[in-house]
Amino acid sequence: MKPLLIVIAALSCIGAVSSTILLVKNGTGQENSEQSIENFYMNELIEASIENECIELDNPLVYPGTRAEEQVPLFDIVDQECLVFRFSGAACDVCVDFVLEKIKNRFSDFSSNPRILLIGSNLNPRVKENYYGKTVFSYASDDLGIPFEEYHIPFLFMIGRDRTCKMIFIPEKALPELTDLYLDTVHKRYFTSE
């Protein structure tokens, strides 16, 4: 019985020491955890950007707001480089609102700028006209042909003059500084001459 008590006491001491070590490391462990999440996000973002970069876009029929009878080919509306925010009603509302606020903060002319386009799918018709600060376009059929669209995750990209997808970016609410950096870069590169 005595050897059993000694073993239990020894294991208890070892457990207490290792718990203390874990608690001390936990402060840096949380930082490492946040760093690994950010690294994972960056790796996924880079991979998605590479896979979807310079894809020649289809020219689907789109319509503004709830006016399905006003269908036009997308490139009848887009005649120059545009920033597109592509989102779905299946995405979390908080995520969509986060991105919209970031765009509105960076582009003071958001509501009137024809080079900033919102394309949504599976949206409540009541919000398509003015809830987002400008009309949301919807597909009458098909989509743009960007493989990433099938995931229903909100993303930003530029439509180039050559009708290709450029600078695709997946905003992450937990890393707002990356969204700011992306929008600043887009603004400097494509919108400074306005």
DSSP 97-139: HHHHHHHHHH-TTTTT-TTEEEEEES--GGGTTTTTSSPPEEE
Among the listed ranges 10-14, 92-96, 110-114, which one has the minimum average pLDDT value?
10-14
For residue 17, the model assigns a pLDDT of: 45
Among the listed ranges 27-41, 70-84, 100-114, which one has the minimum average pLDDT value?
27-41
The residue-averaged pLDDT of 132-149 equals: 81
For residue 22, the model assigns a pLDDT of: 45
How many domains does the chain divide into? Answer: 2
Average pLDDT along the chain: 80
**Type of residue at 141:** S
Q: State the greatest distance between any 2 C-alpha atoms of the chain, in Å, as a whole number.
A: 88
Same domain, 62 and 46: no
pLDDT at 157 over 80: yes
Same domain, 67 and 102: yes
Residue 152 to residue 148: CA distance in whole angstroms: 8
Q: Say if CB 187 and CB 106 are below 8 A apart.
A: yes
Same domain, 89 and 141: yes
Same domain, 114 and 74: yes
Model pTM score: 0.76
Question: Confidence band (pLDDT; 50, 70, 90) for 85?
Answer: very high
Name the β-bridge partners of 82: 159
Residue 123 CB partners (closer than 8 Å, separation 6+): 88, 89, 136, 138
What would the pLDDT profile of 163-175 be if each residue is shown by its tens digit? Answer: 988 999 999 898 8
For residue 5, the model assigns a pLDDT of: 44
Same domain, 122 and 42: no
Q: Say if CB 170 and CB 87 are below 8 A apart.
A: no
Same domain, 116 and 174: yes
Name the β-bridge partners of 118: 85
Domain interval for residue 63: 56-191
For residue 109, the model assigns a pLDDT of: 95
Residue 186 CB partners (closer than 8 Å, separation 6+): 83, 156, 158, 167
Same domain, 114 and 25: no
Same domain, 40 and 61: no
Among the listed ranges 19-23, 24-28, 56-60, which one has the minimum average pLDDT value?
19-23
Q: Which residue has the higher pLDDT, 111 or 17?
A: 111
